[in-house]
Chains A and B, each alone.
Chain A
Amino acid sequence: MTMDQNNDLNVARQGFEISLNKLQSDILLLGDLVIQAINKSINSLKTRNIEQSQEVIKDDDSIDELETQIQVLCVELIRKEAPLASDLRRIVSALQIVDELERIGDYAEGIAKISVTMGKLVPINELVLIPKMAENSVSMLSRSLESYTLRDFSLCSSILEELRTKDKEINSMHKQVQKELLNTIKSDSSEGGEQATYLMWAAHNLERIADRSKNIAERSLFQVTGEIN
């Protein structure tokens, strides 16, 4: 390509380029809101802070609203710009990622609802491995969002491999948590058993958050390769 063509490349479809950049920043904003929701929901579960749990439940509406705004922007860009090649892949992956993020937001809201249901019950056994699962899930989600911004085959592939390994680790932790909580349910017919039942669901949600974070890394790689696995 000539120098002139490169310059043209920078100015051509400038409005479209601005919209694509807005799409990316909106997705990162949604990602931030979702990460905050996970952290707050786990904190409220640990500290029995019902008000904070209710805040997470209320804030989920903002996540849903932003999801809709991003979807509207994607549909508008498809309608107006008839995107092809990398532009099309960026918009398709954005639509997929926004769906994953909204669902992760729902899992955080789910944990907050569990926390509200548990009320002031004192947590058992320091919530077993649940805080650690949450920490790892949030780390996976952050990495997957980093991958989304990179748009580089080698870096995105490497992050996906890393997240696949971490996802397996979280699956193992989930199994261990289930085992411990089942033992509690079997042995404790009072409050402890009740708490363990709730915590099973919280652990399930965290395992799903890890799965969907891995999905985001897969969509990020699709953005580069156009290959659907």
Chain B
Amino acid sequence: MEKIDNQTIISSGINENIIKFEESKNILECENLSVNYGETPAIENVSMGIPKNSIVSLIGPSGCGKSTLLRCFNRMNDLIPQAKVRGSVKFYQNEIYSDNVDSTEIRFRIGMVFQRPNPFPKSIYENIAFGPKINGLTDNLDEVVESSLRRAAVWDEVKDRLNESALSISGGQQQRVCIARALANNPEVVLMDEPASALDPISTQSIEDLIVELSSEVTILIVTHNMQQATRISDYAAFMLAGEERIGRLIEYGTNEQVFGNPKDNRTEAYVTGRIG
């Protein structure tokens, strides 16, 4: 699948610091999205599109609502009892918060990888086969396990240890097994919440290489605090910031070149150059 080209980018009449794409190119988009935890607002009026087969980084200081926003895109916030989501989130232009949408199916199609590797306390094989089995897939499980581990670039390292506990391998391998577990469901989007922050530099590099490779077939939305990582891998980057009232807002969203090379907003400039955050 080819990446989006610049001709599909259209300017926004409302805020020139937020890049806007043709609606048909977006695999995900949110509009006026706000989230409260109880009475406390976490993010407010976020509107952005995620073009298909792109890598989009969400950056910003701690507490600015990046993870909250990320979780909205596959309804993970449904699992937090106090979370209230307002506004629109569309997947292929269909509202995912409609009553008739099955949130479990959404999470299979929009997978997630977390900050710390969280394999199930089962064998590597069972970890990967778990999702497909729930989906009723019983044939060709071996093939699904192998191809998922291959896509996650960890097959060669674990192929002789498939029946060993997934907790017995290194942190970097565990994280790639978790990515393989997400890929086993053939997701179209993978949401990643600081997937390399707990890993050593070599494992981080292999995760970054993997993300770039996967983006030819999967859309990646990644939260990261590592500016160099975001610069290396993203096609686009979104900068969020919470003001004194501690409500996260989208400040700037643009190409990698714009956000890390010449940001339009002074607050983005201050963040990416390490003056705030």
Q: Which of B30-38, B130-138, B155-163, B258-266 contacts A (4 or more CB under 8 A)?
A: B258-266
Q: Fill in one digit per residue for A1-18: 1 if any B CB lies within 8 Å of its CB, else 0.
A: 110010011001100100
A85: which of B228, B243, B244, B273 is its contact (CB, 8 Å)?
Answer: B273
Across the A-B interface, give the 3 residue pairs with the lowest CB-CB distance, nearest first.
Answer: A226-B262, A9-B275, A12-B275
A-B contacts counted at CB < 8 A amount to: 49
Check if B275 sits within 8 Å of A13, measured CB to CB: yes
Check if A85 sits within 8 Å of B261, measured CB to CB: yes
Asked whether A143 is an interface residue with its Cβ less than 8 Å from the other chain, the reply is no
A86: which of B228, B244, B267, B273 is its contact (CB, 8 Å)?
Answer: B273
Asked whether A83 is an interface residue with its Cβ less than 8 Å from the other chain, the reply is yes
Check if B270 sits within 8 Å of A13, measured CB to CB: no
Asked whether A89 is an interface residue with its Cβ less than 8 Å from the other chain, the reply is yes
User: What are 17 A-B interface contacts by the 8 Å CB criterion?
Assistant: A1-B267, A2-B243, A2-B244, A5-B270, A9-B270, A9-B275, A12-B275, A13-B275, A82-B227, A84-B260, A84-B261, A84-B272, A84-B273, A87-B273, A88-B261, A89-B262, A225-B262
Check if A5 sits within 8 Å of B276, measured CB to CB: yes
Task: Specify which chain B residues have a CB less than 8 angstroms from the CB of A226 in the assembled complex.
Answer: 257, 261-262
Tell whether A13 pairs with B274 under 8 Å between CB atoms, given A82-B227, A84-B227, A84-B231: yes
Task: Specify which chain B residues have a CB less than 8 angstroms from the CB of A1 in the assembled complex.
Answer: 266-267, 270, 276
Q: Tell me the complex Cα distance, A184–B267, Å.
A: 63
B272: which of A8, A85, A225 is its contact (CB, 8 Å)?
Answer: A85
Closest to B263 in A: A85
Given contacts A84-B227, A85-B260, A89-B261, 5 further A-B contacts (CB under 8 A): A1-B270, A2-B244, A5-B276, A12-B276, A89-B262
Which of B227, B261, B269 counts the most A-chain CB atoms under 10 A from its CB? Answer: B261
Check if A8 sits within 8 Å of B275, measured CB to CB: yes
What DSSP secondary structure best describes chain B's contact surface? helix
Task: Specify which chain B residues have a CB less than 8 angstroms from the CB of A82 in the assembled complex.
Answer: 227-228
Task: Specify which chain A residues have a CB less than 8 angstroms from the CB of B243 in the assembled complex.
Answer: 2
Q: Fill in one digit per residue for A74-104: 1 if any B CB lies within 8 Å of its CB, else 0.
A: 0000000011111111000000000000000
Check if A12 sits within 8 Å of B261, measured CB to CB: no
Tell whether A86 pairs with B269 under 8 Å between CB atoms, given A2-B244, A225-B262: yes
Q: Tell me the complex Cα distance, A57–B117, Å.
A: 64
Q: Tell me the complex Cα distance, A137–B267, Å.
A: 40
Which of B227, B267, B275, B276 counts the most A-chain CB atoms under 10 A from its CB? Answer: B275
Docked complex: A3-38 residues within 8 A CB-CB of B: 5, 8-9, 12-13, 16
Closest to B230 in A: A84
Task: Specify which chain A residues have a CB less than 8 angstroms from the CB of B244 in the assembled complex.
Answer: 2
A59 to chain B, nearest CB (A): 37
Task: Specify which chain B residues have a CB less than 8 angstroms from the CB of A9 in the assembled complex.
Answer: 270, 275-276
Q: Tell me the complex Cα distance, A225–B257, Å.
A: 12
Tell whether A85 pairs with B276 under 8 Å between CB atoms, given A2-B243, A225-B262, A226-B261: no
Task: Specify which chain B residues have a CB less than 8 angstroms from the CB of A16 in the assembled complex.
Answer: 274
A161 to chain B, nearest CB (A): 21
Check if A85 sits within 8 Å of B262, measured CB to CB: yes
Task: Specify which chain A residues have a CB less than 8 angstroms from the CB of B267 in the assembled complex.
Answer: 1, 5
Docked complex: B239-269 residues within 8 A CB-CB of A: 243-244, 257, 260-263, 266-269
Q: Tell me the complex Cα distance, A225–B264, Å.
A: 11
Closest to A10 in B: B275
Docked complex: A175-229 residues within 8 A CB-CB of B: 225-226
